[in-house]
Structure 1
């Protein structure tokens, strides 16, 4: 019998596991989308620095008896910004991504945000399909200023938080 999955607020002691999951996800999903040399030391250094301290964003983690299954970081704004959403390879296809997005949408609603948005790399087709199936609409496409290497990003927005909340 498996362990029940819990989504809870992230804590400082979660940061090493979050950094490791974030890096593992990038290594798998972004291979072929980002240069190999960047995925090596550049990405690892960036993520180690990113997760060295607690973010100002609301951070939620999903865990089961096997450890960290996924996480989401969401920032307050007119529309809340999903800074990161990553699910461990073994937990994909279980509804965890939907549940984490629903948790972020509830947080955005509690903050009084008008919607939720995120960016993803062009070519990350599984994530693109996943988000669009949950009602995301493309509102921008262009060079991603957050990467030190040239990549194209897609902005996806949800104006209906209730749809995301219900989907989770």
Structure 2
């Protein structure tokens, strides 16, 4: 069984481990091997512990937890089961996409979405996105956006959910220049509708 719930501080260690595992699988051949090898689960766990505790600006973290026959080997989460993915977000950290078109309306941002490789293509990412979209709508966001590296193959997932590419920029990351793309759902109802077809347990 796979359930989606809001994260608590005790989940930070498992979330940090998922972050590192997904980066190493998703960005192999894209980011330098030395950078991926040097990723620290503990360092990321400390960051996510702070993120979970900080609920300013509508921030929240949700986790996907596998239990029973769906659970992988490894350490179970603090509430039973094993954390296999997570999503975080809140009010947009930058509002340049909101200027003009949305005339000051609050825009939400999906900051991270990570899922272990063995659990992809099962509707779990869609369910995590729905949990975040529902949360963003509840805290007053009229639209949602996210950034994704152009070379990240999961960008097609956001397009399948109806995300519209609305911007691009060059950033320095891991010692090299990379392009990231901005996807927008405006209004946020389009994201809620696109993620409504993921049944429990899928």
TM-score range, shorter chain: 0.7 to 0.9
> Normalising to structure 1: TM-score of the pair?
0.87
Q: When you count helix as a share of all residues, which structure comes out higher?
A: 1
> Normalising to structure 2: TM-score of the pair?
0.74
Q: Larger C-alpha radius of gyration, 1 or 2?
A: 2
SS in structure 2 of the partner of residue 53 of structure 1: helix
Counterpart residue number, 2:192: 165
Shift of 1:52: 4.6
SS in structure 1 of the partner of residue 121 of structure 2: coil
Alignment of 1:21-100 (within 5 A): 21-41=18-38, 43-44=39-40, 47-55=44-52, 56=54, 57-65=59-67, 66=71, 67-77=82-92, 78-100=106-128
Q: Which runs of 5 or more structure 1 residues have no equivalent in the other structure?
A: none
- Size of the aligned set, in residue pairs, is 162
SS in structure 2 of the partner of residue 59 of structure 1: strand
Contact 2:4 2:65 in 1 (8 A): yes
Contact 1:74 1:80 in 2 (8 A): yes
CA distance in 2, matches of 1:73, 1:37: 26
Runs ≥4 residues deviating over 4 A = none
Which segment drifts farther, 64-73 or 136-145?
136-145
The answer on 1:15 being equivalent to 2:30 is no
SS in structure 2 of the partner of residue 151 of structure 1: strand
Shift of 1:5: 1.5
Counterpart residue number, 1:134: 161
Contact 2:14 2:45 in 1 (8 A): no
CA distance in 1, matches of 2:163, 2:51: 28
Shift of 1:161: 2.0
